[in-house]
Amino acid sequence: MRNRLIGTMVVISAAALATIAGCSCNPVGPTYKNQTKLTWTVDTIANQGSFQTALWRIWGSSANNVYAAGPSSSVEGEVYRYNGKVWTKIPFTALEGGPIQGSVEISNMCGFNANDVWVVGSRSDSLNQVTHISYNSSVIANWNGSTWREYPVSGGALVWIAGLSPNDIWASGDDVVFHYNGSSWQKSPIPMPPQGMIFATIAEVAPNDVYTIGSINDVTPPADTGSYFLYHFDGTSWSIIDSVIVTSTYVSPITFGEKLFAVGGHLYTSWGEGIQELTGTGWTTISNDTRILFLGGNSPDNLFGVGSYGAVDWYNGSTWQEINVGASTSITMYSVWTDGSQTFITGFDGYKTYIYHGH
């Protein structure tokens, strides 16, 4: 039986956030300062009338132009912008005064400048808060600095977006991978089994050097088998280059994690087993911190790992240091953006979003 992605408009678990948060659009950099010397403040965002507000992705073109996006229990798709002083909502769906029609849940975001910000997600088949998201519900929308434009695509729920330039962007999700060439989004042919596959992460290391992970959960008595396949795109086609098989009685060698992150031409993976980097000899473990769920930074020498129990680790290219940003251990950190001088980290406690600002 296929393990499908289920979207919920009221109860959003921290584990779900950690699984789908993330993006590796072209970061600002490459300079940075010692991140352990930053002073940290926190803003709390809770939409009035919402049981939950989970802005699970953050991205900025500068420290005075930062965006945070994700779902809430009242309007589902929410986007906020920070202008260097305060966070204000940018209307997205028609329900809150924006142009995007229907019941849309935002799952991920990235951008390239203040007038080129992308969000992906899915459109549910009804406003009923207990219905699952339609499997033919891809949503891709672009913010040009003043308004939203949705790009019509047909496919499953999208959960990840990544790219290196405005003319080379990738999005992935349930049974589908899309590519944007600067003018249109097209499905990228990728081999998968008849029952389909969830592509819940994608990372572009360089042009024509793209990676994604496809997963299947087949319930075959007596064992529940989970299969994870590492795909590589060489500019022409996708091919499977590695796999991990997990059953109730057997685990194949875990050579890569569930999520991929590309920073400064380097590829990283994490799966609650630490952090690995892809080198010329294969995956090399660079951290054993099992709390880390998301990686972000503006260079391999300025890399953040964030995750469960308020974890925030900083890597300077040779050593890791844990940073205390003042977060409670009840908060899961699930996204980070930095320009090297200022850093923003989003966290979620099950009800509210906390945005930690280091400066």
| Mean per-residue pLDDT, 15-26 | 45
**Confidence at residue 96, expressed as pLDDT on a 0 to 100 scale:** 85
Query: pLDDT, tens digit, for every residue of 256-267?
Result: 888 999 999 999
Q: Quick one: pLDDT band at residue 221, thresholds 50, 70, 90? A: low
In terms of Cα–Cα distance, which of 205, 138, 125 is closest to 172?
Answer: 138
**Confidence at residue 31, expressed as pLDDT on a 0 to 100 scale:** 64
In terms of DSSP H, where are the helices of the chain?
14-20
**Confidence at residue 42, expressed as pLDDT on a 0 to 100 scale:** 97
User: pTM value?
Assistant: 0.88
Q: Quick one: pLDDT band at residue 247, thresholds 50, 70, 90? A: confident
**Confidence at residue 8, expressed as pLDDT on a 0 to 100 scale:** 31
In the predicted structure, residue 4 carries a pLDDT above the cut 60 = no
E-state strands within 57-197: 57-62, 65-70, 78-82, 87-90, 104-113, 116-123, 138-143, 148-151, 158-165, 168-173, 176-180, 185-187
**Confidence at residue 66, expressed as pLDDT on a 0 to 100 scale:** 98
Tell me the domains of the chain and their CATH numbers: 14-358 (2.130.10.10)
**Confidence at residue 30, expressed as pLDDT on a 0 to 100 scale:** 59
In the predicted structure, residue 114 carries a pLDDT above the cut 60 = yes
| Mean per-residue pLDDT, 312-329 | 96
In the predicted structure, residue 164 carries a pLDDT above the cut 50 = yes
**Confidence at residue 26, expressed as pLDDT on a 0 to 100 scale:** 61
E-state strands within 221-339: 223-233, 238-246, 259-263, 266-270, 275-279, 282-287, 292-299, 302-307, 312-315, 320-322, 332-338
Cβ distance 306 to 337 under 8 Å? no
| Mean per-residue pLDDT, 67-82 | 86
